[in-house]
Structures are given as C-alpha cells and as structure tokens.
Amino acid sequence: MSYQIEGAIVKEQDVTFAIVVVKHNTQDNSENQKAIKAYRHIFPDMPIILLGRDSQGESTYYGPKELVSFLVKVDPHRIPWRRYIIS
C-alpha cells in the first residue's frame, strides 16, 4: 500500500533539509517526534522540519530553531513543494 506526502527538499547556505506538511498542529511535541521518526527513512541524513496549520489556518513550523527562524521569513510559494509517493 502506498501513501502520499507533500514536502520539499531545500538547500540553503550549504544546509540541505526536508520540510514535510503534517495534518496535526505542530504544538504537540510527542506527535512531532513520531512524525519526524516516520519520515527519517524518506529523508535520511537531513534535518526534518514539520509544517502544520493551527486552528486559524496559520502555518507553524517545528524543527531545529535556526531552520525554523529562516523559514518563517520565506514566502511558502518559493519553496519547491512536491508530492512524494511512498510505497
């Protein structure tokens, strides 16, 4: 059985990291840790940032602070989003 995720691989200032869109609110740390662990095999050897939406639809990021600080200043339309099909 396969499933799809929406995400991106971003290289910025010699750092390559992944962003994954999640359905849960990223304020839930235990849910965040489970999600990062689940996506580790898809994006090996790179930091993973989670992008969730709060109840008002606002985007919130979870991950290493320096990457989150960078991403909050980036227009989401500039991120190279794509759909990944996982088997």
pLDDT digits (tens, 9 = 90+) for 32-61: 999 999 999 999 999 999 999 877 878 899
Q: How many domains does the chain have?
A: 1
| CATH number of the domain to which 44 belongs | 3.40.1350
Domain span at 80: 3-86
Mean pLDDT of 50-74: 90
User: Residue 53: its pLDDT value, please?
Assistant: 80
The whole-model pTM stands at 0.90
Residue 34's pLDDT is 94
Beta bridge partner(s), residue 51 = 21, 61
The residues, ordered by sequence, that sit 6+ positions from 27 with a Cβ below 8 Å of its Cβ are 54, 60
